[in-house]
Amino acid sequence: MLYFGAFGTLLILWPGIVYLRSGPNLSSVIYWLTAMVVLAYTVETYGMRREMVSQNELAREQAETAITPLLVARIEAQNVTNELMIRNIGHGPAFWVEVDEFTLSIARKGAARIAVTPIDVVEPGKAERAVFTLVPLDAAPSPGPSDVPYSLQSSVATGDYEIVIKYENLRGRRLRSVVRMGKSGTRLLKTFTDTARTPEPGALGLGSASPNLPPR
């Protein structure tokens, strides 16, 4: 912007300098008119360049949005039972889905540490059931998988819990969703880009193969 201002000032002053040195003549007028035309062209070109940059940035954002998944955790009725589901409400598939372990107060059975089995892919508009491993932390009756969604319902829960979901889009960008569940109800708190390293396929039990997508 500083360069543009200096260039415009020079274009305006140069014909004036020529006029002062040589007096009024046709050349001075031509210089002045030429300077005005060049300045107007420069301003227009600068504006077009800024508009082009803005349009390119908008196109990049739209292309990124078109492949960006957004995962949330919800309690949903499946057949005759309630299940904790990982649902994709975004526009692109989510790969390498992991849920951070969390501690949950199980109704009438004490606290337990909850680990969710990784999921290879959640397609847009689809949901996958969360499969749990429970480690009781209290000397109480051992909880079962059905106790987890039951204890996360607002009508039963004694507290609020943050469910952190980590996943990857088609371009390999790692993302996170943080969902609050429990006494205050279910709410998506935030989403952000994750700087953590993408897990190796073997860490998810997938070997070296890429996630298998169903045929379209």
pTM score, whole prediction: 0.66
Per-residue pLDDT of the chain in tens (216 residues, 90 and over written 9): 555 555 556 656 656 665 556 555 566 666 666 767 777 777 778 777 777 877 777 767 667 778 899 999 999 998 888 999 999 999 999 999 999 999 999 988 889 999 999 999 999 999 999 998 988 887 677 788 889 999 999 999 999 999 999 999 998 899 999 999 999 999 999 999 887 555 454 444 444 344 444 444
Give a yes or no: residue 214 inside a domain.
no
Task: Count how many domains the chain has.
Answer: 2
Domain limits at 176? Answer: 71-204
Which amino acid would we find at residue 150? Y
Could you give the CA distance from residue 87 to residue 128 in angstroms, rounded to a whole number?
Answer: 6
Note whether 130 and 182 are same-domain residues: yes
Between CA 90 and CA 64 the distance in angstroms is: 11
Would strands 119-122 and 94-99 be described as parallel, antiparallel, or unpaired? Answer: antiparallel
- Domain membership of residue 30 (yes or no) is yes
CA–CA gap between residue 175 and residue 168 (Å, rounded): 6
